[in-house]
């Protein structure tokens, strides 16, 4: 192998390293923007409802410092944490993912659908339905890596029901003390006023459509 070949290989390797580093930096920048957007929305929602940091932390069962860091965009909350904060303010999880400047429209183009990636579990949550404060139905597409679990979501308000339709893979759904397994094409409906979770019971990525039907929300004061 001549000097020119060696130099070309070295240059190619260097360019590959630069491209990888640039990609990682871009991903980190996007993750920071998402965290800041979510944090701003949580803060704005809390302030509109005149809820203090301490009160929200108590309702969500976490420390005041954790809520403060999330609102400041200094940490990326898990899906379970977001669900607890949403329940604490009696709003939908999807409304927290919409972004502070997202218009409350009733048409949601594919390019505008909020996509959230859980930093701990790898759960990817895409909100399919239009997000509005008074919405009682949410339609969500979820995907979860093999052998991963969403973690336990908190009990929702009495009268809340969830519907699941599995599109790919096999999932294990736990509702309270009940556990059932669903494969591609299977569907289930359950009352979501108790703790619940989903685990990917297969060796490949699992995907499912989730429809959440909530009773009309009454703002906590």
**Where do the structural domains in the chain lie, given as residue ranges?**
3-213
Please give the chain's pLDDT, 221 residues, in tens.
555 555 555 545 544 554 554 454 445 567 788 889 899 999 999 998 999 999 999 999 999 999 999 999 998 899 999 999 999 999 888 888 865 444 444 667 899 899 999 999 999 999 999 877 678 899 999 999 999 999 999 999 999 999 999 999 999 999 999 999 999 999 999 999 999 999 999 999 999 999 999 988 655 44
E strands in 7-55: none
CATH 2.60.200.20 fits 3-213, yes or no: no
Q: Can you give the pLDDT at residue 14?
A: 47
Residue 205 near residue 145 (C-beta atoms within 8 A)? yes
Residues 36, 166: Cα–Cα separation, whole Å: 32
Q: Which residues pair with 153 in a beta bridge?
A: 196
Q: Can you give the pLDDT at residue 216?
A: 80
Residues 98, 115: Cα–Cα separation, whole Å: 9
Sign of CA dihedral 59, 208, 113, 145: positive
Q: Can you give the pLDDT at residue 94?
A: 85
Specify the DSSP class assigned to residue 184: T
Q: What is the dihedral of CA 54, 60, 62, 68, to 10 degrees?
A: -50
Strands 206-213 and 161-168 turn out to be antiparallel
Q: Can you give the pLDDT at residue 24?
A: 44
Q: Can you give the pLDDT at residue 13?
A: 58
| This model's pTM is above 0.85 | no
Q: Can you give the pLDDT at residue 129?
A: 92
Q: Can you give the pLDDT at residue 221?
A: 43
Q: Can you give the pLDDT at residue 68?
A: 96
């Amino acid at each position: 192998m001549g000097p020119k070949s060696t130099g070309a290989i070295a240059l190619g390797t260097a360019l590959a390293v630069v491209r990888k580093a640039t990609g990682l930096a871009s991903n980190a920048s996007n993750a920071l923007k998402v965290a800041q957007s979510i944090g701003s929305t949580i803060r704005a929602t809390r302030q509109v409802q005149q809820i203090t940091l301490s009160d929200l932390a108590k309702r969500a069962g976490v420390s005041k410092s954790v809520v403060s860091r999330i609102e400041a965009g200094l940490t990326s909350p898990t899906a379970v944490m977001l669900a607890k904060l949403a329940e604490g303010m009696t709003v939908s999880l999807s409304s927290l993912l919409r972004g502070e400047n997202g218009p409350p429209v009733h048409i949601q183009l594919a390019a505008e659908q909020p996509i959230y990636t859980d930093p701990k579990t790898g759960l990817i949550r895409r909100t399919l339905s239009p997000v509005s404060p008074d919405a009682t139905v949410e339609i969500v597409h979820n995907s979860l890596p093999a052998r991963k679990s969403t973690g336990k979501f908190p009990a929702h308000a009495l009268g809340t029901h969830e519907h699941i339709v599995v599109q790919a893979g096999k999932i294990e759904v736990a509702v309270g003390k009940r556990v059932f397994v669903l494969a591609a094409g299977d569907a289930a409906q359950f009352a979501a006023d108790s703790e619940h979770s989903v685990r990917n019971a297969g060796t490949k990525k699992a995907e499912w459509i989730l429809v959440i039907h909530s009773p009309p929300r009454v703002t906590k004061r």
